[in-house]
Amino acid sequence: MSVGPGRLGRRMKAITDDDLILMYREGDAEAFEALFARYHGPVYGFAKALLGSRSAAEEVLQETFLAVARTAKEYTPRGLFRPWLMRIVRNRCLNRIEARRRRRAVLAGGAAGVVEAASDDPSPARQAEANEQQAIVRAAIDELPLRQREAIALYAFEQMTYREIGEVLELPINTVKTLIHRARAALARTLESLQRETSRGL
């Protein structure tokens, strides 16, 4: 999918998500393009944070908007399009994580995960100096339990509210707050440890 800014009328930029999806239901293809233009970045970013793979995130991006197109009539307009969309992303990511887990169980020694990670992104050791901090942060996020990783990705990267995150993860707000608090604490510890290791290796 590709959306050129010239194809999207200025009127689309001021229209709410709910109005856009209602317009799409009525056959307005430009409304769907506007939703894609508005959310393809957040969808890709959330999928990348959960899967750690650019190629897998790209595939989830395409799958997600195909799902939106298929299930648009099931959406209830109540101002919560973004959480509904991110829940679709999350479900597709969880399916991939589960499939990956099953593959690793079959393959001796869990070598598949190592090969997959190495083939997709260069290791931190091969990163240019300007990208080292980003590699450290990514490694720290990867160390988090899945629920914490989901919550902190939505909170820190997508700037979603506790309520919106609760909608995506189907959790009470207090549980969301606890997940984010624990994720922050774990990230601080992991980052400190990784930075010490990096300093010793220099």
- Res 25 pLDDT > 80: yes
What percent of the chain has a predicted confidence (pLDDT) above 90? 53
Of 106, 121, 136, the residue that ends a domain is 121
The pair of structure tokens assigned to 123 is: 């290791």
> For position 188, what pLDDT does the model report?
83
Final residue in a domain of this structure, among 86, 121, 156 = 121
Angle of helix 81-106 relative to helix 29-51, nearest 10 degrees, comes to: 40
* CB atoms inside a 10 Å sphere around CB 178: 15
pLDDT digits (tens, 9 = 90+) for 120-150: 454 444 445 446 666 667 777 888 899 999 9
CATH of the domain at 185: 1.10.10.10
Give the number of other Cβ atoms within 10 Å of residue 117's Cβ: 13
Q: Residue 16 in 3-state DSSP?
A: coil
CA gap 1, 199 in Å, rounded: 43
- Quote the domain boundaries for residue 141: 123-202
Q: What is the predicted pLDDT for the residue at 99?
A: 83
Number of independent structural domains in the chain: 2
Three-state SS at 38: helix
Final residue belonging to a domain, choices 88, 121, 154 = 121
